[in-house]
Amino acid sequence: MGVINTTPDSFSDGGLFSTTDKAVEHAKKLIDEGADILDIGGESTRPGAAIVPIKEEISRTIPVIESIRKFSEIPVSIDTSKPEVMIAAAEAGADIINDVWALRRDGAMDAAASSGLLICLMHMQGSPESMQHNPQYGNVVDEVKRFLQGRIYDALIAGIPERNIIIDPGFGFGKTLDQNLQLLNFLSTFKTMGYSLLVGVSRKSMLGLILDKPVDQRLYGSVSAAVISAMSGADIIRVHDVTETKDAIAIVQAIKNTSNKN
């Protein structure tokens, strides 16, 4: 899954792709590099990021989805928590709703259910404004799993079919470095829940803390974390650097195919 940020305050591209044309150009580049899914976001979810009004988020993201649909059938994911944006994205041809709030915002569950789209339910402790202020868990793996089980239950009750649900432990969303590492170390246990598993670690501060490197120097760390995720069973890996990650994942897939024969 290749990331396309249409936010001027995006943490990783410095606002480089804030206009529709630049975002669509970036989409073409990621498709050429071999992306299997594009994730389009109009509101940054990094800690402390500004809240974007509904109209503004729609005007950033929907023209990008409409343009992509004119030249590609690639599955498109809308990174949003707002029901109005979910509905507009579905009408524009999106395939997946990627909601870091896991449909906890007013109206989001109903909007997602009526859209018929796939839905990624992600764990987050707190909110993007406050989530990195001393996150606390007893057992982070157990608590994230329990949260996701609760969100799955609510989604099923709302009429979202089981096959449309994707889960995500939410790396960096209300977690310390140690808590993130525990989740990565025990990632395979999330596969036992029986849903497709999405992981996003690309360029995140957990890598910066380990490497002591700024965001533009986290490529090798990001690819390493993607490999670990794929080895642990991740089905979808959300990344900024598609070419490099695809190569690395091809090695993982080759190894998995070999071991399956024994």
| Spacing of C-alpha 64 from chain mean position | 18
Structure tokens at 242: 């598609």
Catalytic residue among 60, 151, 203, 204: 204
190 binds ligand 9MG (CB under 6 A): no
As a whole number of angstroms, the distance between CA 179 and CA 208 comes to 15
Residue from 40, 85, 152, 198 binding ligand 9MG (CB under 6 A): 198
Which residues, other chains included, contact 172 with Cβ-Cβ below 8 Å and sequence gap of 6+? 180, 200, 201, 204, 205, 206
Kindly list the distances between the CA atom of residue 72 and the CA atoms of 10, 68, 96, 115, in Å, as whole numbers in the listed order. Answer: 25, 6, 15, 21
What is the footprint of ligand 9MG within residues 78-107 (CB under 6 A)? 79, 98, 100
| Spacing of C-alpha 134 from chain mean position | 23
Q: How far is the CB of 199 from ligand 9MG (least distance, A)?
A: 7
Q: How far is the CB of 171 from ligand 9MG (least distance, A)?
A: 5
| Nearer to ligand 9MG among residue 67 and residue 229 (C-beta) | 229
Q: How far is the CB of 130 from ligand 9MG (least distance, A)?
A: 17
| Nearer to ligand 9MG among residue 98 and residue 182 (C-beta) | 98
DSSP assignment, residue 36? S
Active site residue 69: no
Q: How far is the CB of 201 from ligand 9MG (least distance, A)?
A: 7
What is the footprint of ligand 9MG within residues 124-183 (CB under 6 A)? 168, 170-171
- What is the amino acid identity at position 145? K
Structure tokens at 227: 């490999």
Which residues, other chains included, contact 259 with Cβ-Cβ below 8 Å and sequence gap of 6+? none
Angle, to 10 degrees, between the axis of helix 219-231 and the axis of helix 242-260? 30
| Nearer to ligand 9MG among residue 17 and residue 171 (C-beta) | 171
| Nearer to ligand 9MG among residue 97 and residue 111 (C-beta) | 97
| Nearer to ligand 9MG among residue 49 and residue 74 (C-beta) | 49
Query: Is the separation of the CB atoms in 51 and 45 below 8 Å?
Result: no
Active site residue 238: yes
Residue from 24, 85, 97, 122 binding ligand 9MG (CB under 6 A): 122
Residue from 82, 238, 240, 246 binding ligand 9MG (CB under 6 A): 238
Residue from 2, 41, 128, 174 binding ligand 9MG (CB under 6 A): 41
Q: How far is the CB of 205 from ligand 9MG (least distance, A)?
A: 11
As a whole number of angstroms, the distance between CA 133 and CA 236 comes to 28
Catalytic residue among 238, 246, 256, 261: 238
In the sheet where 96-99 sits, what is the strand order? Answer: 2-5, 38-41, 76-79, 96-99, 118-122, 165-168, 196-200, 236-238
Query: Is the separation of the CB atoms in 15 and 8 below 8 Å?
Result: yes
- Residues at the contact surface with ligand 9MG, assessed by CB under 6 A: 41, 45, 79, 98, 100, 120, 122, 168, 170-171, 198, 200, 238
Active-site residues: which are they? 204, 238
